[in-house]
Amino acid sequence: MGKLLVVYMTLGYPNVQSFKDFIIGAVENGADILELGIPPKYAKYDGPVIRKSYDKVKGLDIWPLITDIRKDVSVPIIALTYLEDWIDQLDNFLNMMRDVKLDGVLFPDLLIDYIDDLDKFDGIIKNKGLKNVIFTSPSVPDLLIHKVSKISDLFLYYGVRPTTGVPIPVSVKQLINRVRNLVENKLIVGFGLSSESDLRDALSSGADGIAIGTAFIEEIEKNGVKSAINLVKKFRVILDEYK
């Protein structure tokens, strides 16, 4: 099987029709899995570009839009949102996710802020029939990375930067080499990958795929949806060089 392209987009960005056009175009041009970002109250682990995209879509009724997208594409769709926002109404939130036929959820704060309750929340999510995709990072101890790689559904998301789209002076290759043998799952690398060299470094170091979001939002902002779809196509071509 080839390398996986996980495409992120903030729900409804930059507007509903353009969002739908991008999502459909992304899948037609090689996206294997979709991550749909639900704007949080406080985006503490998102970079400035994605935070700005949240501001443009606040107040949007997310559920009808997700329902429409689910009808349009057949690839797995996971919601990316913060557990902190839904913890007091988690049962209702997960029921809604199941009702609109989302495949699963990725809570980036689960392993950071709720580590003591990891097993509890993992069970709650899976008992609803949903996938629990776990986010981890270089700051997580090796033993914990190994543990969560075995329980994370679809893939393990490994963020190589402290926030999305913000580079730090650490080699992507070094970061992936450290965890590759710890991960008993598909290793998807994201959070800060934007350049072609970053992608190639990740793939040549053993990543099973990449997750990209900031680059698409920036491209939409600068040059429009069609150009962002072409960027999906470009990344797909790069991934297909690494079988």
Q: Which residues are catalytic?
A: 35, 46
Is residue 109 within 8 A of residue 65, CB to CB? The reply is no
Which tokens hold the place of 170?
């650490």
Indicate the SS3 state at residue 30. Answer: coil
- What are the tokens at 227? 């150009």
With a CB cutoff of 8 Å and minimum separation 6, the contacts of 220 are 13, 14, 18, 22, 227, 228
The residue ranges of DSSP E strands in 26-173, in sequence order, are 33-37, 77-80, 104-106, 131-136, 156-159
CA angle 60–130–88, rounded 5-degree value: 60
**Count of residues in the chain:** 243
